[in-house]
Amino acid sequence: MPPAAPVAGILSKIDELVAYLSSNVKIVEKALVGLEGGYVELLTIVALGLLAIIPVLAPSEHRQKIRLLNQLLGIAVFVFVVFTCLGVFGMVRNFLRGLSEIGRENIVALYYCSVPATILVTSLLFGPTFCGWMCPTGALQEFIGKITAKRRLADKTDGYPFSRFRLCVALFTAAAFLAWMLHLSLTRLFFIDDASIYWSEILILILFVLAWKMKDWDGKLRRLRYLSFAVVVAAAFLGLRVTSPVHFGFSKVDDPASFLATVIVVLAALGVSRVWCRYLCPWRCVISWASRYSARKLVFSQDVCIKCGKCTAQCDVDAVTNGVIDPAECHMCMKCVDVCPVKAIQIRDEWKAAP
């Protein structure tokens, strides 16, 4: 037997397992009937609404434990219940499609707008809690990132110098990507329908840049989210269907490209916390915009701050520096609020238009 035969057999078994899971993971076999003659994801709307309210009700002494539970529930809702959402790209595409149906097929419009509209409304009310408390892609990155949290914190404290560790993560991620692509290329051709592959390639390139110049390039590379959003919107208007990481878990399909992209995102999060959210998530652009007008905000009292640096160390997305919060990057996880020993960062609920 050739040496490669055992490896090929293992890969084949993995392919079969992924195909089985992605084709049978849904508990609900079709979207619930919400209105007569229409299919509206009422269960999804209710579930997401409840998950968005929990951050408001969670007592401060147990907030992070409750947030962990909320993240796990968010994964369960998206994997086992949601139908219209095909990942972060799908939410953008479906929302645009739903808007185009308003006035012609209002039931269809509600069907496609239900998930993104619910998330937008909750963001307008409570800030970007979807990112910090509910998003399954963000949760997966946060969970895997705990493995290397101490090493990444040391890099952060040193001002993100050149990191052999981040370079090793980039090399390992690239090797896994190339090996898997080689295997898949034997049975599959990759075009626009496998767009998550191209985002994975960009993510790997970002990792290599950050290994050397994270301090200099972190802020600049975050602008790629807007390019990612523009590409997804353009594809929607052109009628092109693009899939995103974790798509295979949101829909009853066998999608090895999306599964591979998910693996790449998870591996990349070992080197840079929430790497997908920082640099490539198009939905993050929408959440950030909506959150500017939210009634719930984090406020910082500079005269109270003792500059202990605990809030800076706790923030996974580097949205806090000695209490000063960048609202465009904040995920509203509220770690900075909970870790501050003098309560210099607090949650304030108020209706006030952004300047």
For residue 342, the one-letter residue type is V
Q: Between 188 and 342, where is the model more confident?
A: 342
Convert the pLDDT of each residue in 29-52 to its tens digit.
554 444 444 445 677 788 888 899
Question: What was the pLDDT predicted at 339?
Answer: 95
**Per-residue pLDDT at 112 exceeds 70:** yes
Question: What was the pLDDT predicted at 75?
Answer: 86
Question: What was the pLDDT predicted at 192?
Answer: 55
- Least confident residue range of 26-40, 70-84, 138-152: 26-40
Question: What was the pLDDT predicted at 188?
Answer: 67
φ, ψ of residue 156 in degrees (nearest 5): -65, -45
**Per-residue pLDDT at 158 exceeds 80:** yes
Question: What was the pLDDT predicted at 311?
Answer: 94
The model's confidence at residue 224, banded by pLDDT at 50, 70 and 90, is very high
Question: What was the pLDDT predicted at 105?
Answer: 75
Query: What residues contact 140, with CB distance under 8 A and at least 6 apart?
Result: 75, 246, 262, 265, 266, 269
- Least confident residue range of 127-131, 149-153, 192-196: 192-196
Convert the pLDDT of each residue in 298-333 to its tens digit.
999 999 999 999 999 999 999 999 989 999 999 999
Full-model pTM? 0.86
The model's confidence at residue 261, banded by pLDDT at 50, 70 and 90, is confident
**Per-residue pLDDT at 114 exceeds 90:** no
Domain ranges of the chain: 8-134, 141-288, 296-349
Question: What was the pLDDT predicted at 104?
Answer: 79
**Per-residue pLDDT at 72 exceeds 70:** yes
- Cβ(107)–Cβ(33) below 8 Å: no
Q: What whole-number distance in Å separates Cα of residue 26 and Cα of residue 20?
A: 11
296-349: CATH topology is Alpha-Beta Plaits (3.30.70)
User: Mean pLDDT over all residues of the chain?
Assistant: 83
Helix, strand counts (H, E) of the chain = 17, 4
**Per-residue pLDDT at 164 exceeds 90:** yes
Question: What was the pLDDT predicted at 1?
Answer: 42
The model's confidence at residue 5, banded by pLDDT at 50, 70 and 90, is low
Q: Specify the 3-state DSSP secondary structure of 266.
A: helix
Question: What was the pLDDT predicted at 46?
Answer: 82
Mean pLDDT in residue range 218-222: 94
Report the candidate in 58, 86, 85, 60 with the shortest Cα–Cα distance to residue 70. 58
